[in-house]
Structure 1
Amino acid sequence: MNDDTVISQDAINTAVWNACDTFRGTVDPSIYKDYILTMLFLKYISDIWQDHYERYQAAHGAHPELIEELLKNERFVLPRSANFRALHEARHQPGNGERIDRALHAIEEANLGKLRDVFQDISFNSTKLGDEAQKNDILRHLLEDFARPELNLRESRVGQLDVIGNAYEFLIKNFATTAGKKAGEFYTPPEVSQLMARLMAPQEGEEICDPTCGSGSLLMKCAQLIRSRTGRRHYALYGQEAIGSTWALAKMNMFLHAEDNHRVEWGDTLRNPKLLDADGRLRRFDVVVANPPFSLEKWGHENAAKDPHQRFRRGVPPRTKGDYAFILHMVETMRPGTGRMAVVVPHGVLFRGASEGRIRQVLIEENLLDVVIGLPEKLFYGTGIPAAILVLRQNKVDDKVLFIDASRAYQDGKNQNLLRAQDVQAIIDAVQARQPIDKYAHLATREEIAGHGFNLNIPRYVNTFEDTATADLPAVRAERLKLKEELAELELKMAGYLKELGYD
């Protein structure tokens, strides 16, 4: 394959997915996904570094010291011993796991400002990959898989396409599909992320936060929206993620998307929020988006009443359901004036009573709740239940709540349903119009919602019942008489045939 051949996203996705065959049958997907994604990262930065090195060499070959200085000014620094090519050349020797680990640690040391602690939870020298002989063999195959011509990721082949970030999303999506709920906890379908980003309409210069950011895809959808409109990266991304390996994915993903203006923290957002200002208070953001774990059982109820940030002053959520804990955290981190948020929730959040009902009432009475959107079932990996999106704003245009029932507009998939472009656009159009739409949208007053006991169950507000046509009784009677006459004629004919055959 010619090194200058433009590479397609599908070719990269297929090659990377095929590389997973090296692990299948010997290592669980929940373990090997981290190895595949980390190796993709290593291969990418090695290919880009090699591309730049050869370009500098062609221009300044007589001045090696100048080339070294130029390489130090790259977006990242790649020590020679940590290059994928060096690891691939040594693949037949013992110690592949140890060599790869040393390479990752060297890359981290050389890029501490961007990659500090990112590789601390991943070890290619782990016994999870089997005994020394099996591990060395698996890693030799892995290095050979990523050395294939299809995975030549030099800029001359990649061009302007964001193929690496897309490959991350492709792999994460496929691991979520095959690994079920555990993987689905950190994966939001790209169509839902796109919808949430468009609902928030992030603007240049704004600060955007996802307090349960997973692999970072939702944050990056917001960033892409700003770039597509302005062509610039004048914004800041913030996130926090509780699972260490997923946090590392988010950091690598940000790095691969060239999202250098970001701060992604590792820790439990509810028990230990880390996105704080200089005075130790919760930082405020223009846009807050999240797809938190649904109805998390152990979310930190025992310490909620004495929360130092007073996030639960509107009420403490139930001990075994953390949905409103995430919602209240997001509400407290909206910037006064410009702040708005979109959060994915299970439908129980709309109608469950007790403390959740009281919290819901306060949010409505404070005029924070703006839109309730019912989504189709089977959109999210790991759960078939339908979800909803709540939009809350600091500065609403009125004191009403728009309800949208988008549960019946989707592409039917075998295992997962899909929001189509026209489905997303219909929701955006309805939100912008903020007017009733027959069997789709209803603009409810606060009095109307209070009349329903602050229950937000969408069918209470959007009537999707299809009226059956009123029966035309005279026409039905005439049709019945006609059929009786035809039946009588048939009976006479049948009697005649039987008589001819000798049956009287």
Structure 2
Amino acid sequence: MEKTTQEQINGTLWRAADTFRGKIDSSLYKDYILVMLFIKYLSDVYKEHYEEYAKKYNGDETRIERALSRERFTLDQKSTFDYLYENRNSVEVGDIINKSLEHIEESNKSKLRGVFRNIDFNSEIILGKTNERNAMLRTLLNDFNRLNLRPNMIEGNDVIGDAYEYMIAKFASDAGKKGGEFFTPSMVSELLSRLVKPEENDRIYDPTCGSGSLLIRAFKKVPGRKAQIYGQERNGQTQALCKMNMFLHGIDDAKIESGDTLANPLHLEDGKLMKFQVVVANPPFSLDKWAMGFAGAEADEKKFKMEPALDQYRRFDWGVPPSSKGDFAFVQHMLHSLAEDGRMGVVLPHGVLFRGASEGKIRKQILEMNLLDAVIGLPQNLFFGTGIPAVVLIFKKSRNRNNVLFIDASGEGHYEKGKNQNKLREEDLKQIEMAYEAYKTIDKYSYVATLEEIKENDCNLNIPRYVDTFEAEEMVDMDEVANNIANIKAELEDVEKQMAKYLEELGL
């Protein structure tokens, strides 16, 4: 029998989205598609294992059940996709799906707790009245019934996880501005994970982890994939997507928490912020009202002023970022969460490089502590929902040099132009990676600045101050220009003579 390929799965999934398209917003229906993919995968794996054990134990149900209970997860008949498909014409199909999801969570508390908490297949508000809702769910079950996701029928190892990522990327592209909230473009994730070099037994952390793509990329770089994953995400639905994404990539012990990382960081050790060897993040750009979680319930939003003392972990002693721009709040949280041998890569808007006031003060403190290792300018229009160019900042604890590498990878020729979005190619990533490894000045591409030089620039990190990408225009040859003018004049004279001759012949 022919194996199911990545392309077939991706195609089926994107067609399944047509069931909802035009009826409800993609930022809502993405959850239904991704949850159904998850259920279908669990069911097909369970079915394959059941058949293998049934053969091995000659149909002895007790032994089969005992063997199945030792697998990564457990299902019973009423939790399988097949059971849902058999009930596709039921007037209560939405409720049947909900109960099935609840049961899966209950039976797999340690690994799948809270994964389906934020999804309701019986929601009249989102999916419409009974008839309309049931018609959509029936079509969805029919679409997924065509997919065979049994492990022995799939071509390749990470196919299901990659299909999940493919769908998240598609939805992010579809969702425009909202898309950037839950997905970092894969080549940007790849770049960050290469630059921070995760190693065996590292703790890898993303404080604004979205659907987890950055964490998964970093995890895949670890030899033998022996590392512990930690993440926190404010949006409950996105946190659920992240937990499913981890599970589909074979990461069963990822610790993904739900909550506001700034006001309520949840990865703690002995009452202090946990420390990580690798931190990667693409926080929301210039988050407005980032500090409101520190205000009491009674606080007046307009009068509330964030003070360093309000944070029990003292992350803002270097300076409190402006209330309308949370970029440095995330940077300070991450630096306070970095282990002594830690490496950190974060994607931010360019404003963090040069904005003044409290941000200038924080920047100065970070430079004084010699934590900044590299500033890498990326091309514009790489991210979903914003055309602005971003910058990657690499920080390191215990640095053995006192200068900073600037790379300008934003110019033409350093990316592929797309209709809606630009892309970084493998050759572009390699160029950045090699320049970072070399850590030296390369004409029109990179520059190593001493800390003294940066301080002379008032701690302004704007890349054009350090990397000169100006291409001088060729000198104009005036003799050649004069020669061309003379030739044109002579040609014009000939044409005028010819014209006069024609007019004479016509008697005009």
TM over 0.5: yes
Q: 2:272 aligns with which of 267, 278, 281?
A: 281
Q: Which residue of 1 aligns with 2:339?
A: 335
> Where do residues 104-143 of structure 1 align in structure 2 (5 Å cutoff)?
104-127=101-124, 128-143=126-141
| Alignment partner of 1:299 is 2:290 | yes
Q: 2:448 aligns with which of 423, 435, 443?
A: 443
Q: Which residue of 1 aligns with 2:302?
A: none
SS at match of 2:272: coil
Is the 2:111–2:253 contact (alpha carbons within 8 Å) kept by the matching residues of 1?
no
Displacement of 1:501 in angstroms is: 4.5
| Alignment partner of 1:290 is 2:284 | no
Q: Which residue of 1 aligns with 2:218?
A: 222
**Structure 2: which amino acid aligns with 1:319?**
S
Displacement of 1:453 in angstroms is: 1.2
Is the 1:76–1:111 contact (alpha carbons within 8 Å) kept by the matching residues of 2?
yes
TM-score, length-scaled by structure 1: 0.95
Quote the Cα distance in structure 2 between the aligned partners of 1:77 and 1:15: 26
> Where do residues 92-171 of structure 1 align in structure 2 (5 Å cutoff)?
92-127=89-124, 128-148=126-146, 151-171=147-167
Relative to structure 1, is the Cα distance of residues 182 and 304 closer, same or farther in structure 2, using a 3 angstrom cutoff? farther
Quote the Cα distance in structure 1 between the aligned partners of 2:490 and 2:122: 87
Is the 1:410–1:423 contact (alpha carbons within 8 Å) kept by the matching residues of 2?
yes
Q: Which residue of 1 aligns with 2:34?
A: 37
TM-score, length-scaled by structure 2: 0.94
Displacement of 1:159 in angstroms is: 4.3
> Where do residues 386-401 of structure 1 align in structure 2 (5 Å cutoff)?
386-401=389-404
Deviates more, 1:157-166 or 1:443-452: 157-166
Q: 1:426 aligns with which of 425, 431, 437?
A: 431
Is the 2:211–2:241 contact (alpha carbons within 8 Å) kept by the matching residues of 1?
yes
* Percent of paired sites with the same residue: 51
Is the 2:306–2:320 contact (alpha carbons within 8 Å) kept by the matching residues of 1?
no
Displacement of 1:175 in angstroms is: 1.3
> Where do residues 320-399 of structure 1 align in structure 2 (5 Å cutoff)?
320-336=324-340, 338-399=341-402
Cα deviation 1:416-474 (Å, max 9, x = unaligned): 11111111111001101111111111111112111211111111111111101111222
Quote the Cα distance in structure 1 between the aligned partners of 2:172 and 2:475: 48
Q: Which residue of 2 aligns with 1:51?
A: 48
| Alignment partner of 1:79 is 2:71 | no
Is the 1:235–1:261 contact (alpha carbons within 8 Å) kept by the matching residues of 2?
no
**Structure 2: which amino acid aligns with 1:146?**
F
| Alignment partner of 1:261 is 2:265 | no
Q: Which residue of 2 aligns with 1:17?
A: 14
Displacement of 1:496 in angstroms is: 4.1
Quote the Cα distance in structure 1 between the aligned partners of 2:334 and 2:43: 39
Quote the Cα distance in structure 2 between the aligned partners of 1:263 and 1:22: 33
| Alignment partner of 1:242 is 2:242 | no
Cα deviation 1:116-156 (Å, max 9, x = unaligned): 122111111221212222222221111111101xx110011
Quote the Cα distance in structure 2 between the aligned partners of 1:156 and 1:233: 23
Relative to structure 1, is the Cα distance of residues 474 and 217 closer, same or farther in structure 2, using a 3 angstrom cutoff? same
**Structure 1: which amino acid aligns with 2:228?**
A
Q: Which residue of 1 aligns with 2:299?
A: none
Q: 2:86 aligns with which of 86, 89, 102?
A: 89
Quote the Cα distance in structure 1 between the aligned partners of 2:209 and 2:244: 13
Cα deviation 1:259-290 (Å, max 9, x = unaligned): 0232111110001000101x110000000000
Is the 2:6–2:155 contact (alpha carbons within 8 Å) kept by the matching residues of 1?
no
The alignment of Structure 1 onto Structure 2 pairs a total of residues equal to: 492
SS at match of 2:483: helix
Quote the Cα distance in structure 2 between the aligned partners of 1:488 and 1:94: 89
Quote the Cα distance in structure 1 between the aligned partners of 2:506 and 2:211: 82
Is the 2:308–2:315 contact (alpha carbons within 8 Å) kept by the matching residues of 1?
no
Is the 1:317–1:324 contact (alpha carbons within 8 Å) kept by the matching residues of 2?
yes
Displacement of 1:42 in angstroms is: 0.4
SS at match of 1:106: helix
Relative to structure 1, is the Cα distance of residues 136 and 491 closer, same or farther in structure 2, using a 3 angstrom cutoff? closer
Is the 1:108–1:117 contact (alpha carbons within 8 Å) kept by the matching residues of 2?
yes
Displacement of 1:478 in angstroms is: 2.7
Displacement of 1:90 in angstroms is: 1.6
Deviates more, 1:131-140 or 1:493-502: 493-502
Quote the Cα distance in structure 2 between the aligned partners of 1:159 and 1:327: 41
Quote the Cα distance in structure 1 between the aligned partners of 2:260 and 2:390: 23
Quote the Cα distance in structure 1 between the aligned partners of 2:502 and 2:92: 94
Cα deviation 1:61-89 (Å, max 9, x = unaligned): 24322111110011111122101101111
**Structure 1: which amino acid aligns with 2:164?**
Y
Q: Which residue of 2 aligns with 1:205?
A: 201
Quote the Cα distance in structure 2 between the aligned partners of 1:363 and 1:280: 25
Quote the Cα distance in structure 2 between the aligned partners of 1:445 and 1:367: 11
Displacement of 1:502 in angstroms is: 4.2
**Structure 2: which amino acid aligns with 1:309?**
Y
**Structure 2: which amino acid aligns with 1:377?**
Q
Relative to structure 1, is the Cα distance of residues 121 and 104 closer, same or farther in structure 2, using a 3 angstrom cutoff? same
| Structure 2 spans left out of the alignment, 5+ residues | 293-304
Cα deviation 1:181-205 (Å, max 9, x = unaligned): 2232111000000000001111111
Quote the Cα distance in structure 2 between the aligned partners of 1:252 and 1:316: 35
| Structure 1 spans left out of the alignment, 5+ residues | none
SS at match of 1:470: coil
> Where do residues 63-74 of structure 1 align in structure 2 (5 Å cutoff)?
63-74=60-71
Quote the Cα distance in structure 2 between the aligned partners of 1:217 and 1:296: 21
